[in-house]
Amino acid sequence: MPEQLLEDLLKPTRDNKAALRNRILELREDSDVKTKVTSKALSEAIKVATKDQIDNFIRRISITAVNYAALMQYIWDQRWWDDTWIEEQIAEHPDALYFALCSFYNIRETSRQEFDADVTGTYRLWRSAIHHPGYYILAKLELKKSSQRTKALQSIETHVSRPQKQVAGHTVILEGFIVKKSNYYMIVSRQIAPDTDASHKGAPQIIIIHNANYVDGRICGMHGIVFGCYGTNKFFSTPVYIERVDERDILTLDEELEVRQAIPDSIKAKITVKVSKNVIYF
């Protein structure tokens, strides 16, 4: 247990002092934190030891005693005792998921740049409605760089349910990232609450694209499968078709978004599910 570990570490034994001394020296080799673990910085942080006392502790000079417990407690509170702080620092970056996926799938930077140029843009996204059997969803999918500095390829998916009679309308937004590996594309996203704190995240969703159509070197259509979670303990999966929106129509796209029963036959054919002997065909 972490609490028990800390209780043991706070005991000023010879081994504990040696371990703390070595840990501070290790931290001083890290470019991200080294300025925070100088003797002066530590002295100012814990306020119960002078710079010279900490220097003497690090150098194994026992002329002046240091407040070992306060120093150990501070290193622990900053999550510097192990490498947890590094993992948390990476995870806190807004584009952490994108680069984690690129690393996991070993996607080279040159491949990312080529794909970005092909896929960035605004799309209509068609799929069956989860909460309205027999109806279909027309949503908006935006694929763009989250920033010019990181160049992570972000996805923003917007679903709109228009108000009807006594039923209020609502908007669902999913944010995530898209990556390409071989001939497959994957969009990993999660639902956020619109017009609220963006840190409030909801159910996960994954779209796997298995077929893409190109026109003049740019993707114009994508076929795939979307699966995800909703509610307290529910799971869904359905075909999805994504088509690029002409730049002239982007401004009016938001007015089209809704849950509808009638859709073009050409679109319906692309998102129809066939079942044969317990096997689902997309």
Residues 154 and 229 both lie in one domain: yes
Residues 87 and 137 both lie in one domain: no
196-239 pLDDT, tens per residue? Answer: 555 556 778 999 999 999 998 899 999 999 998 877 778 889 99
Say how far apart CA 94 and CA 87 lie, in whole Å.
14
Checking if the pLDDT of 144 tops 50, the result is: yes
Please, which pLDDT band fits residue 253 given cuts at 50, 70 and 90?
very high
Q: Give the pLDDT confidence score for residue 63 in this predicted structure.
A: 55
Residues 31 and 82 both lie in one domain: yes
Task: Look up residue 196 and give its DSSP letter.
Answer: S
Say how far apart CA 148 and CA 150 lie, in whole Å.
6
Residues 107 and 240 both lie in one domain: yes
Structural domain tally of the chain?
Answer: 2
182-208 pLDDT, tens per residue? Answer: 888 999 999 886 555 555 567 789 999
Please, which pLDDT band fits residue 1 given cuts at 50, 70 and 90?
very low
Which of 44, 60, 91 is a domain's end point? Answer: 91
Is the pTM higher than 0.75? Answer: no
158 vs 113, which has greater pLDDT?
158
Checking if the pLDDT of 20 tops 90, the result is: yes
Residues 28 and 152 both lie in one domain: no
Residues 34-52 have a mean pLDDT of 92
CA-CA-CA-CA torsion sign (140, 227, 194, 94): negative
Which are the contacts of 22, defined by CB distance < 8 A and separation ≥ 6?
none
pLDDT over 70 for what percent of the chain? 89
